[in-house]
Structure formats: structure tokens, C-alpha cells
Amino acid sequence: MPLDPAILNEMTLAEKIGQLTMVTAGYATTGPIVAGDTTAALKAGRIGSLFNLWGRDAVRAAQRQAVKETRLGIPLFFGLDVIHGFRTIFPIPLAETGAFDIALWERTAMEAAAEAAAEGIDLTFTPMLDIGRDPRWGRIAEGIGEDPLAGARFARAKVQGLQSRDFAGDGRLAACAKHFVAYGAVTAGRDYAPVDISRRTLEEVYLPPFHAAVAAGVASLMPAFTDLDGVPLSANGDMLRGVLRDRWGFEGIVISDYGAIGELIKHGVAGDLAEAAALALNAGVDIDMMAYAYERGLPDALDRGLVAMATLDAAVMRVLRFKEHLGLFDDPYRRCSGSEGETADRRASRRVAAREAGQRSLVLLKNEGGLLPFGGRHRRLAVIGPLADAPAEMLGPWASAGKGADAVSVLAGLHEALPAVDIVHAEGVSIAGEDRAGIAAAVEVARSADGVILCLGEAAAMSGEAASRARIDLPGCQEELFAAVAETGKPLVVLLFSGRPLSAPDVFARAKAVLACWFPGSEAGRAIADVLTGASSPVGRLPVTWPRHVGQVPIYFAARTGGRPENPADKYTSKYLDLPNAPEFPFGHGLGYGDIAFSDLAVDVGERLAISLTASNRGERDDEVVVFLFIRDPVASVARPALELKDFTRLRLAAGESLRLTFTLTRGRLSFLDQRLQPVFEGGDLEILVGPSADRARLLSTTITYR
């Protein structure tokens, strides 16, 4: 039945506040507060939504209590952090962003949504759209890399894949874009730390992915834990009302992060829970997740005149409309009726998708002498390191209901792919421990083989929320293990597992090949084996700039040059005494097994710019490449970045094939924010650069005049 707006007149204050209260059911730990038994509060109508509960039977039982045992029978909705998969885990978002494959982004979202919806979930707290330019920050693993254009396209694809325009549909989830906004700019990369950025940086870098999500119809949004210019986002009416609702026209619901409203007291902007609740509700936060601030603070806030009943009623109606759009008033059990699960064929198909996503997210950073792919050259292969036989670590952070026992390790994947090869294994050291006793045995295993695969990196728990690292090098004794194995002189491939770029200069200097695996998900071992053996090509590219050393961060390709750009011949320019400014690898870097080159850049200047070039695969294998289009505006009323990404596309070329590619840019896409932060187009000279990464040495370029 449709929602009757008159229901608001029937609701008590406690029931209204209940609709604005979300609590955890306890299946997963996502914050510092444990809800305990929710039954009594649920039956009293003091809970409007639950998260961390899944499974049709469990969800149906909770829903029945809300519908049958409360006075008004208003259904619940159920949320979960389905960040990169539900039971079938796909690569972490940072890795998947590096595929630069919009169809893949949408497909994995659709798969995750269908799997979670089949177990009663209505809403997922994703996509995370925080730009990340500091790899010390653990949550860079969950995000979209460093570029706002790539982030905006990722946002649209994920919203479309998760919910489309009708998130009540079968196999769909309501999406929740988070964390609004600039959470990735936390001071020194420390999670939850203050954010202090310019309004220009906010507008140009951090807002565009969220704007794209809103334009795509995202159903809900979550403010960041952090502040912006001293105002916590959970109490920031300028952002939640002014930008989100008034400027962008967002009509969905706003859900606080875990306990964030109560934390307004620790932020120092609220003196007690009533003030905190009033600040959040007045700013535009509809649902209080696990702070109990609305339940315990709003009655007092209303009595003290800190918030108006009309403001409370408006939030309640937004929540009820959201439930109506979910179809819950028509059928509260739409996602939890019956007990049948998905078919074996459907589960197998999803694993195939996870394997493909894993393949396409791997980034080949180095391949000296064409060591990879292996082909059939090895009779005995040593697989060494703490991450060689670690299936649970392959899932990465925020693995939802995924189980390590269901994941494929590197060792298992190689055994399956290379049945005729004698594969020997040694752990060597643990991921973060100080025990070096196993290094000698690992070296002997390496010496006995004619090729070595060394699996190094972070544990899954070293990335994600509350997992910032001041040092971004290999933890524990892994560098010593690497040095000892490298001394054997055996052909050495290093597989790096992490939720962030890692500083490992010795690895990049001495290993013959290095593959950034990130955390590839449930099918990790098979996906990696596919690339190592050449069954598939490495097609991933870096969505972030990879620093040489932590002292370079934050580091990103779109920085401005300043008045004294780096000049090695001049001491008084912007550079380090002990390192070059250049990163270990630029944004967009990644190697394939083909040999794709670019030539014949041309620009047709008319009402629009038509930018064309030829891509040719000179190699003996089919290959794919991402082509990036950058611009550089050398003279403008506001200093522009050294490079600005304006477009990208992915090409597949057969061996020996050439293709003419054209990008189109309009005046609107060449505008920027002037000194008053208003869009402006300024004609004049414009440098056009096209190629495989943000490395100027690999870009074709030309300068045109456009007015």
C-alpha cells in the first residue's frame, strides 16, 4: 500500500525519533559501540532501521517484529557495508578503480547488490567517494584514487550498478555515497583527524564525485566523521543543506556515520547530547547511526527550543518516503521472503566475474627483460613469502560476509594453473613479526628453483578504517626476506599486496618484475595465476601516484608548479636535497604484454576540440591500454595544475593492429573556477597531452590557440 502522509499525525514523539534511529544488530563490528539486544526497542517503535543483520530468516524475523508487534507497523530497512562484495568479494575499490573500466565498475556493483539483496539487505554504505592523495590514510583502500574526473565516473557507474533509478527492483540496493566531504584530506593521513583545505580545493577536487553520485540519483548520503574549516560535517548545514540539497537538489536521506553525532561533543561544538542532536538535525542529518543522540537528546532539545518540531517531521517524512521508494510499504518482506538461496550456477557465474575483476585490477609495475608472462619456461617454481598462502588476506578490508576459507590463495591458484610445474613453498617470515628464523629455509627453497615468486605486503587489517600508517614501507622483516632471496640471483617476480602504494625502493630496483596486486578478492589466486602465465594480460593502471618515500606525500599529478618549479641546476627551486621530486611511478602507470605506441597527434579547432591520435600494437600479443587526455593551461587568471585529466578511454588492440582514436572537448569542459569560484572559460593557448600515464615523457603533446 502507498504511504499515507497522515501517518505523521498518528506518531508519538518517541515513534518519530525511532524512525530516525539506526542501530547495529551485531553480526559485524563497524564501530566502538555495541548495541546489545534490540528486541525491546524494536517492539516499542524506537528503531527505524538496522544494520549488520543478514540472512532471510534473521531479516524476516526482525521485520515481522516491526510490522506485526509495533503500534503503527512501519517496516524497517536493513543496511550493510557491502563495500566490494557481499559473500563473493571483488578487488578493493582502489584496485578496481585502476581498471579504468566503467562497464566493469557497474557489473561488480550489480553482482554485489544482487547477492546482498538475496539475503535481505536494502541499503549498502557505498560507494566511498573520498579522493585520496595521501597513502598514509588507511581508507585510501576503499576509495577512488586521486583524480576527481575518474572518481566522478566511478561514482556514476557504482550508483547505476547498485540501484539504477529504481532501487526497489529485484536484485537492487539503495546506495549511500560517503563520506561527504574531503575525508581523504585528513591531517597527516591520520584517520578521523581534522581537515583544513581551501574552498577551491574542495570545489575542484573533493566535491565532483559526490555531485556525480547525486546526479545519478543516489538514494542516500553519509557525512564524514571529520570537520571542514572547523565545522564537523555532521553539523555542517552549509554543506548538507546549502550544497547538497539547495545547490544540487538532493532529495534522498542523510545517514550519520557510526556514533558521529555524539562525537560532536568531543569535536567541541556541542556541550551535551541535546545540543549535538539539534546541531545534526538542523544541519540536515536524517538518521542517527549508533550514537543514540536523537533518542536521548532530541526531546530535551525540543523542550529547550534548540530544534523545531517541523524540522523533526521533515526528517521523518524523508525516511518514510525512502522506505516507500524501497517498496517496503507494498511488501515489507520483498527481500526476505522464503528460504531459497541462489542457484549453484548463479554463484559460479559471480565467481567468474570476481576472477575477471581481479585480473583487470592487477597493475604490472615492472617487467624487465620480458620475464612475464612465464609461459612454460619453469620446471620448478618457488613461491615464497607471508602472503603466498594467505587466502583470508586476499579479501582485504571490509570484506562483509566474505570468508577466507572461500578465497583462493596465490599458492592454490598457481598449483591449479601449472599442474606440470613442481611448485615449492616457504613462508620465510610473517607479515609483521620480527622472527627471522625462516629466512634461511626460504633462501634454500629459492635456490632449488629456476624461478621465484615472492609474495610481500600488508595484512588486510593494515588498510581500511582506523588503519593509518606513518610508515608505508614493507612491515616486519619482509625487506630482509626480499634482500636474502634477491641475492640468490634467481629470476624474481614480486607480488605486492596492499591497500595503498608501498615505499619499497629496493624491491623496485632489484626485482625483475613487480605486480601490484592490491587485495584482489575471492578469486585472487586464479586471477594472479592468469596474469603470471599469460592466460590474460595485465591491464590495470595506477589510480594514484606511487611515491618513492613517505616524505613525498601527499603526492599527485595535478599539483600546481609554483613560482619556482624544480630545476636540478638551481638550488633555490622546489625540490628535496635527498630525493628527486618524481614519484616511483606516475598516475596511470602500468605495463602490458603487448607493445602499444601512440603517434600522429592532431587537434581540429572548431566550436569543439577534436583531438585524435593513432594507437598501434607493435607487439606479438593482443593487448589493452588506457589512453589519458590531459590539458595544461599555461596562462590563466588562476594558476592551473601542471596536468588536468579531461578524459580517458580503454582500447583493445590485436597484435599488429592500429586504430585512430578521437576525443572531443567542449568549451564547458575547459572552464575552471575563477577567483570568485565561479565557472569561467578563458581563451588562449592550451597544451594538449595524450598518452598512457601522467609521465610527461610518455605523452604526445601539442599547443593550440582556442578562443
Could you give the residue numbers annotated as active site?
257
Residue 12, SS3?
coil
| DSSP label at residue 463 | S
User: CA–CA separation, 254 vs 313, rounded Å?
Assistant: 15
Any residues with CB less than 8 A from the CB of 669 and at least 6 apart, and which? Answer: 646
User: CA–CA separation, 628 vs 83, rounded Å?
Assistant: 27
User: CA–CA separation, 175 vs 673, rounded Å?
Assistant: 30
Q: Which residue's C-alpha cell is 624491491?
A: 507
Torsions phi, psi for 465 (to 5 deg): -65, 140
* Residue-by-residue DSSP string for 630-641: EEE-SS-SSPPP
Torsions phi, psi for 435 (to 5 deg): -80, 120
Question: With contact defined as beta carbons under 8 Å apart, do 529 and 408 qualify?
Answer: no
Give the relative orientation of helices 439-447 and 478-486 as an angle to the nearest 10 degrees. Answer: 30
User: CA–CA separation, 496 vs 388, rounded Å?
Assistant: 11
- Residues 556, 562, 565, 570, Cα dihedral to 10°: -140
SS3 of the chain: helix, strand, coil, percent, to 5: 35, 20, 45
Give the relative orientation of helices 102-117 and 344-361 as an angle to the nearest 10 degrees. Answer: 150
Determine if residue 186 is left, alpha or beta; phi over 0 gives left, psi from -120 to 50 gives alpha, anything else beta.
beta
Question: With contact defined as beta carbons under 8 Å apart, do 481 and 429 qualify?
Answer: yes
User: CA–CA separation, 471 vs 85, rounded Å?
Assistant: 29
Residue 315, SS3?
helix
Angle at CA 550, nearest 5°, toward 545 and 551?
105
Cα-to-chain-centroid distance, residue 372: 28
How many CB atoms lie under 10 A from the CB of residue 681?
Answer: 14
User: CA–CA separation, 557 vs 628, rounded Å?
Assistant: 13
Radius of gyration (C-alpha) of the chain in whole angstroms: 26
User: CA–CA separation, 99 vs 520, rounded Å?
Assistant: 12
How many CB atoms lie under 10 A from the CB of residue 563?
Answer: 8
